[in-house]
A and B are shown apart, each in its own frame.
Chain A
């Protein structure tokens, strides 16, 4: 089995050593450096999630990915995720096929909603239309990815009649995935469109998603498609010891979730819930390289997945802390997981 290992960021706003937030511009430069460093550390994929907030100032991740592409030669580069419902599938295809050209065929796209809802009012879309927007646009995107002229008609954008969409892809479709957070209908959609399944597991026991993985493969059979890979995306942080990783991550995680909780009206997480999530049955990969490697190994096995993407960092963490986390992930966690899986 061929496994690969990635890192994802939401453009988490960097903090300086005193805990003060750095500027959006500095955060974006930090992310570009982290992407370049990820290749040096031996990471296979670097993903940037679209967000539109003061603490995740990352609305145009593809521009940052292009900067990383110009300074790297091996690492794969993609979105994690692209909020397709509030974007135009033709433009998304064009941006990522351009990235694919710049990078010599290293582009990927993960389509989804993620937790980013801010793009809907920003671009004039109604969240209540989410389902229809996503379904139509994902269907068109899958069509565009096949290459060749496209004819398409729907309710959510202008129709296309035998339209040649450029730039053409050099050597077949680049990898594309559908991000799924827990809705089995979304698993069926990914299979129907022939796109990979990216399981975003951000809370609760990861093993409960095993049935989703099986559902995906069974649905692919039903639609007469070949097997496609399953990817797991989860948040975490690697440091020298479990204690250090938790001490660095917990206050930043608490502050961020508290902020989101206030915006969305849910209760604030407790230290008890953090302990559950960082334990063996939780969704957070926070700890020493060995702790994180064991957890990744167990969950890739349980879920029949061949790729793991660690969403590293949190708003307020320093660039230095993230560089150390990336180095430990690439130099120690990934080789250890490969060893455990072989």
Chain B
């Protein structure tokens, strides 16, 4: 068995801890970072994300094979792109003006495309953004379970998409590939699967890549 890549989760708010816990359960080594000193999230990590290592963002990213962005989108604008250079970056964030306010930087394309533009040295994949943090853990099921649900993955780089699909599969969802990062529009707020938890057949039907017979 090949060793799993190390995971760095950036964001210790609503979503980051949920993804970190799922990944730890799936056997990944997980570092978690907030915007500042790891001491500030030590207690949260100990009790809410046991098994994760709280670190400075730069340290967490340095030895990570996959970096998950799980911070509020406006905080991403403060991240130094150089920090993430050369990394596979999974964008689990959303541009959701109805709950987070309007950000002009994200007005003219899908949010993940804009993130990819701001991170020219990174490979960006959109995933784990469309199932609510209330549900992401509760609905996770091992491969083959009859009530397993699907999660979408949008990216342009086949190797990055495959690595992300492996992560999604291991944390409990059937990965469904969308054809490009741009096609990740379907996973965004206002899209057909945002906030929905569907099995593969219904998911594929909802995003229009399959018709139910």
Q: A residues engaging B (CB < 8 A)?
A: 117, 120, 126-131, 181-185, 187-188, 202-205, 208, 211-212, 214-215, 218-219, 222, 261, 263-267, 273
Residues of B with C-beta under 8 A to A131: 72
From known contacts A203-B132, A215-B43, infer whether A184 and B12 are also in contact, taking CB-CB under 8 Å. Answer: yes
Contact of B101 among A127, A187, A215, A218 (CB under 8 A): A127
Of the A-B pairs whose beta carbons lie under 8 Å apart in the complex, a sample of 5, sorted by A's number, is A128-B102, A184-B17, A184-B44, A215-B47, A264-B96
Q: Is the CB of B14 within 8 A of A265?
A: no
Residues of B with C-beta under 8 A to A130: 100-101
Q: Is residue B120 contacting chain A, with contact meaning CB distance below 8 A?
A: no
Distance to closest chain B CB from A239 (angstroms)? 26
Q: Is the CB of A117 within 8 A of B99?
A: yes
Q: Which positions 101-147 of chain B face chain A at CB distance < 8 Å?
A: 101-103, 132-135, 137-138
Distance to closest chain B CB from A116 (angstroms)? 11
Distance to closest chain B CB from A63 (angstroms)? 28
Q: Is the CB of A219 within 8 A of B43?
A: yes
From A129, A208, A265, name the one whose CB has the most chain B CB atoms within 10 angstroms: A265
Q: Is the CB of A267 within 8 A of B196?
A: yes
Distance to closest chain B CB from A143 (angstroms)? 22
Q: Is residue B193 contacting chain A, with contact meaning CB distance below 8 A?
A: yes
Residues of B with C-beta under 8 A to A265: 96, 98, 188-191, 194-195
Q: Is the CB of A266 within 8 A of B195?
A: yes
Residues of A with C-beta under 8 A to B189: 264-266
Residues of A with C-beta under 8 A to B138: 204-205, 208
Q: Is the CB of A266 within 8 A of B194?
A: yes
Distance to closest chain B CB from A114 (angstroms)? 12
- The complex places the Cα of A308 from the Cα of B203 at a distance, in Å, of 37
Distance to closest chain A CB from B41 (angstroms)? 8
- The complex places the Cα of A131 from the Cα of B193 at a distance, in Å, of 28
Nearest B residue (CB) for A184: B44
Q: B residues engaging A (CB < 8 A)?
A: 12-14, 17, 34, 41, 43-44, 47-48, 72, 74, 96-103, 132-135, 137-138, 188-197
Nearest B residue (CB) for A276: B138
- The complex places the Cα of A218 from the Cα of B17 at a distance, in Å, of 18
Residues of A with C-beta under 8 A to B194: 265-267
- The complex places the Cα of A203 from the Cα of B197 at a distance, in Å, of 13
Q: Is the CB of A128 within 8 A of B12?
A: no
Distance to closest chain A CB from B52 (angstroms)? 12
From known contacts A266-B189, A267-B192, infer whether A214 and B47 are also in contact, taking CB-CB under 8 Å. Answer: yes
Distance to closest chain B CB from A183 (angstroms)? 5
Q: Is the CB of B101 within 8 A of A204?
A: no
Q: Is the CB of A208 within 8 A of B137?
A: yes
Contact of B13 among A129, A185, A222 (CB under 8 A): A185
Residues of B with C-beta under 8 A to A261: 195
- The complex places the Cα of A214 from the Cα of B138 at a distance, in Å, of 20
Q: Is the CB of A264 within 8 A of B99?
A: yes
- The complex places the Cα of A211 from the Cα of B45 at a distance, in Å, of 11
Q: Is the CB of A128 within 8 A of B43?
A: no
- The complex places the Cα of A246 from the Cα of B195 at a distance, in Å, of 23
Distance to closest chain A CB from B100 (angstroms)? 6
- The complex places the Cα of A185 from the Cα of B74 at a distance, in Å, of 17
Q: Is the CB of B100 within 8 A of A128?
A: yes
Residues of B with C-beta under 8 A to A205: 138
From known contacts A127-B100, A215-B48, A264-B98, infer whether A182 and B14 are also in contact, taking CB-CB under 8 Å. Answer: yes
- The complex places the Cα of A1 from the Cα of B101 at a distance, in Å, of 43
From A185, A188, A218, name the one whose CB has the most chain B CB atoms within 10 angstroms: A185
Residues of A with C-beta under 8 A to B134: 182, 202-204
Nearest B residue (CB) for A260: B98
- The complex places the Cα of A219 from the Cα of B134 at a distance, in Å, of 23
Q: Is the CB of A215 within 8 A of B195?
A: no
- The complex places the Cα of A218 from the Cα of B13 at a distance, in Å, of 18
Q: Is the CB of B43 within 8 A of A185?
A: no
Q: Is the CB of B48 within 8 A of A212?
A: yes
Contact of A222 among B17, B43, B103 (CB under 8 A): B43
Nearest B residue (CB) for A202: B134
- The complex places the Cα of A342 from the Cα of B47 at a distance, in Å, of 29
Q: Is the CB of A215 within 8 A of B98?
A: no
Residues of A with C-beta under 8 A to B44: 184-185, 187-188, 215
- The complex places the Cα of A265 from the Cα of B99 at a distance, in Å, of 10
Distance to closest chain A CB from B124 (angstroms)? 22
- The complex places the Cα of A222 from the Cα of B197 at a distance, in Å, of 39
- The complex places the Cα of A222 from the Cα of B17 at a distance, in Å, of 21
Q: Is the CB of B98 within 8 A of A263?
A: yes
Contact of A204 among B48, B103, B135, B191 (CB under 8 A): B135
- The complex places the Cα of A284 from the Cα of B197 at a distance, in Å, of 18
